[in-house]
Amino acid sequence: MPPAAPPLVVQKYGGSSLATPARLRRVAARVAAVRRGGCRVVVVVSAMGDATDALLALAAEVRGAGGAADGRELDLLLATGEQAAAALLALALAAEGVPARALTGARAGLRTDGRHGDARIVALAGGRRGGVQRALAAGCVPVVAGFQGLSRGGEVTTLGRGGSDTTAVALAAALGADRCDIYTDVDGIFTADPRRVPGARRHDVLSHRDTLLLTHAGAGVLHPRAAALAAAHCLTLRVLSSLEDGPERGTRIEGENTVEMPRILGIAAAGGAARVVVDAAAGASMAEGPGAALRALAAAGVPVEHLEEKAGAGGRRMALLVPAAQGDEACRALRAAFAEPARVALEPPVARVTVVASGMGALAGRVAAALAALEAGGVDAEGLGISPMGLTLWVAPGHAARAVALLHAVLVEEAGAAAGAGGVRRPA
Ligand code: ASP
Ligand code: MG
């Protein structure tokens, strides 16, 4: 029998971990140390620092007011950010004495659909002859440019903002990696963003399900699509800080919950959604109301983040949330779908603040106290929904940070609840 291959670890480094030459060298030293420990390492990188924002700003400036965004060109431009980071990290690794090979997403075999700016991974091409496997076989560290792939038509695509996490998880699943470590600038997933809420507590362990709920609520440390992919593959993830030395503290994501105790997992805000309101004619059916709206937006390529509808005497009123950049597009599509006297209007944006919980019903008293604290703190909720999975509030974007802090103070800090999922069963 051939000797067992050494463990394989996929490490992903976010932009803040790579923002300066000194940080790149620090990452190279970390990779070298893991390799000396007897592991094979595959690295996935984001663009350095704010490079993606800078490229987007450049494109906007060059285009001016007149030009429409072209997804194909924008993707080609944005993909260079990760490519530069991969090449530079490979150079830094070589300087550490670690042979490394920088790979574009295409060269690493990431195949996607053709949706520019929001492409989905459809396959990992190449198998044993792919760029990553070949680099590993040659004893090199593959350094893969995250966030990008190649469409069937041979075009460079990108996976949406924050998409390098998804690259890392997809690669780890396809390679059968023993572990996938996501390095960022905070050491784990907390009950709220620790950079804004000083009392936030780190989760040492989280189940895949709870992680998915927290990322969808807006916990920015991990991309929701990466969390979903890790859950689907039962892949163990760790979220760690690359900026701290010493023993690694972070959040381990694995397995499923075994305890049913009511608990609060965290509080997060997601902002920047555009809100469109449609007043459909009286007597319109569900298929003619929400059904028609969903069809029109799907045809226009506008994803619906939330839809709420109420039927009243005057007709049906629908409120829809769509990505901020697509508010006008959504209005155009809905106006074409709903004839007069229906009315379509773009309203001021709202932020969504979510308390992610389990067994919310048993926590009603604490929730009531939290709502009183919000009111005393001057936060005006435009809408509120409670379900067994938590509490959602709609607030003006300027109130979101305060709402998170107030809710956290009452529901987590005052309650003295221990952070942590309490009872996560590891996968067999
Ligand atoms: N650089 C890209 C972004 O800023 C992708 C990523 O960071 O994962 O969105
Ligand atoms: Mg980035």
**Strand ranges for 100-241 from DSSP E:** 100-103, 110-112, 121-124, 141-145, 148-151, 156-158, 179-184, 205-206, 237-241
Buried b vs exposed e over 369-379: b needs ≥16 C-beta within 10 Å? ebbebbeeeeb
Closest ligand 1 atom to 82 CA: 1
Query: Residue 79 Cα, ligand 1 centroid: separation in angstroms?
Result: 10
* Element at 226 (helix H, strand E): helix 224-232
Which residue of 55, 77, 147 sits with most ligand 1 atoms within 8 Å of its CB, as the best mutation to test the pocket?
147
Which residue of 46, 110, 182 sits with most ligand 1 atoms within 8 Å of its CB, as the best mutation to test the pocket?
46
- DSSP-assigned beta bridge partners for residue 195: none
Please name which of 257, 196, 248 lies closest in space to residue 11, comparing C-alpha atoms: 248
- DSSP-assigned beta bridge partners for residue 307: 320
In this structure, are residues 411 and 267 in contact, taking their beta carbons and an 8 Å threshold?
yes
Closest ligand 1 atom to 164 CA: 8
Ligand 1 atom 7, closest CA: 162
Q: What are phi and psi of 420, to 5 degrees?
A: 115, 145
- DSSP-assigned beta bridge partners for residue 425: 256
The alpha carbons of the chain give a radius of gyration, in whole angstroms, of 23
Query: What pTM was computed for the model?
Result: 0.88
Q: Is 51 helix (H, G, I), strand (E, B) or coil?
A: helix
Distance, CA of 422 to CA of 51 (rounded, Å): 39
DSSP conformation class of 305: S
List the strands of the sheet with 315-323, edge to edge: 306-312, 315-323, 263-280, 343-358, 390-395, 381-387
pLDDT tens for the chain, 428 residues: list them: 677 889 999 999 999 999 999 999 999 999 999 999 999 999 999 999 999 999 999 999 998 876 666 899 999 999 999 999 999 999 999 999 999 999 999 999 999 999 999 999 999 987 778 899 999 999 999 999 999 999 999 999 999 999 999 999 999 999 999 999 999 989 999 999 999 999 999 999 999 999 999 999 988 889 999 999 999 999 999 999 988 877 788 999 999 877 667 889 999 999 878 899 998 776 667 677 888 899 999 999 898 988 988 877 677 788 999 988 889 999 999 999 888 778 899 998 889 999 999 888 788 888 899 999 999 999 988 888 888 888 999 999 999 999 999 999 999 998 765 444 445 555 54
Query: Residue 47 Cα, ligand 1 centroid: separation in angstroms?
Result: 6
